[in-house]
A and B are shown apart, each in its own frame.
Chain A
């Protein structure tokens, strides 16, 4: 427990980069397929449009999907480079954001409960998401994904109130 609350800035587990590349690629493929199907149906049904317009639409679709693919491939590394967390005796601090940066500080004494979740793809990478719940409004739920699962569990143990007298 004490080695978790070291007061040092830590980066996430590097495996979060391939994880996010995989998850964003999956959602990109789904969106691309659905939008392409929509485009196709629209073209087959509508007959008043000219050929140039159709080619333009297809080009636009290709460009958007290309941008999406670039984003899915590049963004996880950028986000990884700008995400840090620190756990100490006081609580947890999370810093993130590539362009719009946020530092969220949740004191240990304000933690209501904590979830550690792990999806099917997370399990493949042995990662988990730590979700800290507070009684607040904007930060009622502070999530930190891309932690090694065991580490997420250790942070949970550290942040949860130990004595019964701490209860709200």
Chain B
């Protein structure tokens, strides 16, 4: 085995292609802008200087030179305890990433990558906003080697990173990882389609397509061709609205047509979403390799992600109304690694995009040994929580209605008569569905009425515990307990339990912080 690994020669191709693409998009838009706007020579950009292609080249050449120098100088080395990468011609960089600090190792392989049989590898640790090492691109075998070195060396002495045996250089990578691992979850075609149906990502895809069509002027040409006669032109809905609320005869045929159109649109959105799920998560499988969870998925772009089980900070289980009707749930895990809200990281964190509710305890048991999700007994919040929760709602509503009344008179009462019952109902349901559990190993919290979420945080991953009391809480002798874990996403569901009795909250906060203090935190 060579002691130093270089990038695959195809790296150059990918890097150059990336720069070309970055520059090509503005260029293409520019060209379309010129031809599409048709405002005489120069188009909407009002006269682009002659020879602008040369200007693009000016930007492209230094980028390409950087790529070449990076390719030529990039070296990857495995030390006893760390991954060492070196790059740079003028400014030399050397980065040491200890195996023990690596949070996860991801690989992405799109169609072109597969052609060269290479992968785009990302190595993440807990620090920083970006991945610690982006190895773009490596031969497939090298990725397997990284993965086995990083994870096997750690498993040899999981408790003590100070005494890691040097990995045996003579053993080929393939032998380190036994080929058969238990598959914890595999999504077949039906589950994938169901996932797409529930997730409803169709709008995103259609939106993107619409954007591209509009930007390139394709859309105008299409609508011009099909709706040129004006039978179903832009004013269709406007005319319909006028007809329905006007005095003339009711346009029944048009109404049906509009309804059919809307229904068709909704159906199409769901179907597109199912297609999206099929492409994105095709052949999703979750396997357990020693102490790591490994997910692999994708039809065109194949993604392979490895998350060490002990690096899992929180687990969250989501169920929407559709999930519950179909008896399914979605499970994701959060780790401290990487960029947090990036879309690839977001996708990677699916532990189970869709799983039958019966299989849930079994899956969670794999991640949290000894944890029985089925046997959890939830505790509710304070019996007077509803009264407490309604107070701020009523105050806001009163202010809102009075402001509205000043502006538009009695119409404000109409708004109030709709909002008040709805807010009362949703507050009531919200309070009813709040629940929490504090066990030996984990602290859990559930919330949500239509969209329910359960978050499980491990006690040894708690960073800080805080107790909050607003003036409302103080009047009602209540408090809120919040558990802070590493690098939770901006909008992710947290363990944040409101409306607890003050003494209960105090005891809970004390217990959690004591338990956290007595365990060593290991990322």
Contacts and interface: CB of A to CB of B under 8 A. Distances in A.
B469 A101 contact: yes
B516 A109 contact: yes
Interface in B444-481: 462-471, 474
B513 A168 contact: no
A107 B471 contact: no
Contacts of A100: 468-471
A76 to B, nearest CB: 20
Nearest to B127: A135
Contacts of B521: 109-110, 135, 168
B513 A107 contact: yes
Interface stretch (B20-28, B419-427, B485-493): B485-493
A111 B518 CA distance: 13
Interface stretch (A29-37, A47-55, A120-128, A137-145): A137-145
A90 interface: yes
A100 B469 CA distance: 6
Nearest to B486: A135
Contacts of A135: 126, 336, 463, 486-487, 521, 523
B65 interface: no
A164 to B, nearest CB: 9
A136 interface: yes
Interface in B475-523: 482, 484-488, 509, 513-514, 516-523
A153 B467 CA distance: 26
Most buried by A among B126, B487, B520: B520
A139 B517 contact: no
Contacts of B519: 109
A33 B101 CA distance: 51
Interface of B: 101, 126, 162, 336, 462-471, 474, 482, 484-488, 509, 513-514, 516-523
Top 8 A-B residue pairs of the complex, sorted by shortest distance between their CB atoms: A136-B463, A107-B517, A136-B484, A105-B513, A90-B517, A139-B464, A103-B467, A135-B486
Given A107-B513, A168-B126, 18 more contacts: A90-B513, A99-B470, A102-B467, A103-B467, A103-B468, A105-B466, A105-B513, A107-B464, A108-B517, A110-B462, A110-B521, A134-B484, A135-B521, A135-B523, A136-B463, A138-B464, A138-B482, A139-B466
